[in-house]
């Protein structure tokens, strides 16, 4: 089979390179230099010329704050481009595996993990454009699996873990919000989940929306404390603070833990606990530096 991976130079795309390296399937990795997914003709040509069976869309506009003033481009990449991919893969009788976000829910639902069938209500441009992408997939009629995830991090690119590794190593004191809770997700675990769906042909008859993040729950403060502890940055005095001490143009969810029951029941795969995955990522980061 021929699998097209878009956004291949990002966090998830790079992890897809790693997990699929020994696959017998043919993986075609592209980023904007090789394929502009906002160009419908280019997408159609790529899919037809390479007889693409599956598209894994790892591309997205993910700067949550900047999206508020860059609405057109966020909509183009998170929604219009997704429609292009869905239309192209449908025309080739293939499957789209698309990554979405907990931000489609918006607001807060205290202490109850979100399920896939709950009403969506994004409170910012980023969440709204990602929701539009989901809606375009549904409207296209393409065979598709949508994986909603949250708090993604990895060894690649800019992310919370790498930022906090640097700050806890260089700052004597740090304030981190404790009133926003969710679950960190190691991009390698998400890539492994996607690869398992493809490699074992689990996409057949299992289209729809699924939640995927690591197991457990924490605040950004808890997350930072564990990053510092596991990396040996014990000298940094990390203090909890309220969200309003760091003003943002976007109202972020105060509780966005994702219920993964549907994913585990349908695909029969356990989900790693967030601290175990964090340790694994930090170990990989340290080995890469050596």
Tell me the C-alpha distance between 99 and 209, whole Å.
10
The conformation of residue 180, written as its DSSP 8-state character, comes to: -
| Beta pairing class for 54-57 and 237-241 | unpaired
**Distance between terminal CA atoms of the chain?**
36
Q: Measured in whole angstroms, how far is the alpha carbon of residue 239 from the centre of its chain?
A: 28
In the residue annotation, 230 being an active-site residue is answered as: no
Would you call 240 helix, strand, or coil by DSSP?
A: strand
Tell me the C-alpha distance between 219 and 196, whole Å.
29
Q: With both helix axes pointing from N to C terminus, report the angle between 125-140 and 81-91 in degrees, rounded to the nearest 10.
A: 20
- The Cβ-side half-sphere exposure at 19, using a 13 Å CA radius, reads 21
Per annotation, catalytic residue among 61, 103, 126, 203: 126
Closest CA to 70 of 129, 151, 122, 10: 129
Would you call 32 helix, strand, or coil by DSSP?
A: coil
Tell me the C-alpha distance between 11 and 169, whole Å.
23
Q: Mind telling me the catalytic residues?
A: 126
């Amino acid at each position: 089979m021929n699998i097209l991976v878009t956004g291949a130079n990002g966090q998830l795309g790079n992890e897809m390179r790693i997990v699929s390296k020994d696959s017998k399937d043919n993986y075609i990795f592209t980023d904007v230099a090789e394929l502009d997914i906002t160009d419908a003709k280019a997408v159609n040509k790529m899919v037809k010329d390479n007889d693409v069976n599956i598209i894994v869309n790892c591309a997205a506009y993910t700067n949550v704050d900047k999206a508020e003033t860059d609405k057109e481009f966020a909509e183009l990449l998170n929604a219009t481009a997704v429609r292009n991919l869905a239309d192209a893969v449908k025309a080739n009788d293939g499957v789209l595996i698309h990554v979405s976000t907990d931000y489609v829910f918006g607001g807060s639902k205290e202490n109850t993990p979100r399920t896939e069938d709950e009403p969506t209500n994004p409170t910012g441009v980023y969440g709204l454009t990602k929701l539009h992408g989901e809606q375009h997939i549904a409207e296209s009629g393409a065979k598709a699996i949508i994986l909603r995830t949250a708090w993604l991090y990895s060894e690649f690119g800019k992310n919370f873990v790498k930022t906090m590794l640097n700050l806890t190593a260089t700052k004597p004191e740090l304030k981190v919000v404790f009133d926003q809770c969710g679950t960190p997700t190691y991009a390698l675990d998400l890539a492994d989940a996607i690869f398992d769906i493809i490699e074992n042909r689990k996409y057949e008859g299992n289209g729809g929306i699924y939640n995927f993040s690591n197991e457990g729950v924490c605040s950004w403060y808890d997350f930072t404390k564990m990053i510092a502890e596991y990396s040996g940055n014990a000298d940094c005095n990390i203090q909890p603070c309220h969200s309003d001490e760091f003003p943002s143009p976007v109202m972020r969810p105060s509780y966005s833990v994702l219920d993964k029951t549907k994913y585990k029941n349908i695909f029969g795969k356990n989900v790693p606990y967030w601290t175990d995955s964090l340790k694994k990522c930090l170990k990989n980061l340290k080995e890469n530096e050596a």
